[in-house]
Structure 1
Amino acid sequence: MSKIVPDPPVNTATPNAEATEAEALIKDREAINRALDYYLDPPEPYSVKTRRPSTMFMVVPDVDSESLLAHACESLASASVMAGDFAGYLEGPQRHTALAIQQIIMLAELAVNRALDNVDVPLATV
């Protein structure tokens, strides 16, 4: 909301001093508004249009969902085994953390397996 009267009112005797004081207050108010806009509504650092994903590791776009889910399931099973083996070398809280990570991986593997069961496989025509 803009105010017509400077905040606080200028009590000077000369017109030039009053104009200078009013300009300084306007500049201060603009700086405050810029700072608030910057911190309360920051610009997005990376927009979707400018970000291009790396093509070093790329999944072929026409791979079917069943193959992707099967690969994800195998990767999660391998990660579960690695976390379990790693937990065997640890003791105390670190072991509990590694076993918790293994449990999360196993839950993700179960979810991927269920999604794989729900994939409709088109029948091959002979």
Structure 2
Amino acid sequence: MLDVTDSPVGPEVENTTAYVSSASKKLHPAVHRALDFYLKPAASLTAAARAPRGIFVVAPDIDNETLLVHACESLASASAMAGELSALLEGPHRNTMLALQQVIMLSELAVSRVLDNVGSPQPV
């Protein structure tokens, strides 16, 4: 009977695992980067998430009146979209959409009032 502690008969077998062969040692940095990318994605995502980004930035040289006009037009568009969508809904969902449209309209009125006040002199 063969004992598991017996050495195999024949020439010694050289250790040729892929990780220690001389050809694969060149690939170690790439392998570590790939493993870190797939097995430790939180570390790279956390570092990237903390960096502030300026994807959407309002140009600093835009005057207040132009910003208010844009805000007013955006609110008017949102109100129109909410109104059209509420026509497609029924029941409580329609009521919710109409309430949202009313909030948008009230915001549009407030911005319009501020826009009117921008050009007029303030009483003292």
Structure number with higher helix proportion: 2
Report the Cα offset of residue 110 of structure 1.
0.1
CA shift for structure 1 position 55: 1.1
Q: Does the alignment pair 1:100 with 2:110? A: no
Aligned-partner residue type, residue 120 of structure 1: G
RMSD over aligned Cα atoms: 1.9
Distance 1:76 1:60 in 2: 20
**How big is each residue's C-alpha offset from its partner over 1:11-51, in whole Å with a ceiling of 9 and x where there is no partner?**
xxxxxxxxxxxxxxxxxxxxxxxxxxxxxxxxxxxxxxxx7
Runs of 4+ in 1 over 3 A off after TM superposition: none
Between structure 1 and structure 2, the one with the greater Rg is 2
Take 1:63 and 1:52, find their aligned partners in 2: how far apart are those partners?
Answer: 26
Q: What are the equivalent positions in structure 2 for 1:1-126 lying under 5 Å apart? A: 53-120=52-119
Change (3 A) 1:53 1:99: farther
Query: Aligned partners of 1:66, 1:57: CA distance in 2, in Å?
Result: 19
TM-score by length of 1: 0.53
Q: Count residues in correspondence.
A: 72
Deviation at 1:54, TM superposition (A): 2.5
Whole-Å Cα distance in 2 between the matches of residues 116 and 97 of structure 1?
A: 29
Unaligned runs of 5+ in 1: 1-50, 122-126
Q: Which amino acid aligns with 2:83?
A: G
Report the Cα distance in structure 1 between the residues aligned to 2:68 and 2:108, rounded to whole angstroms. Answer: 10
Q: Secondary structure at the match of 1:83?
A: helix
Partners of 1:79 and 1:67 in 2: CA distance: 18
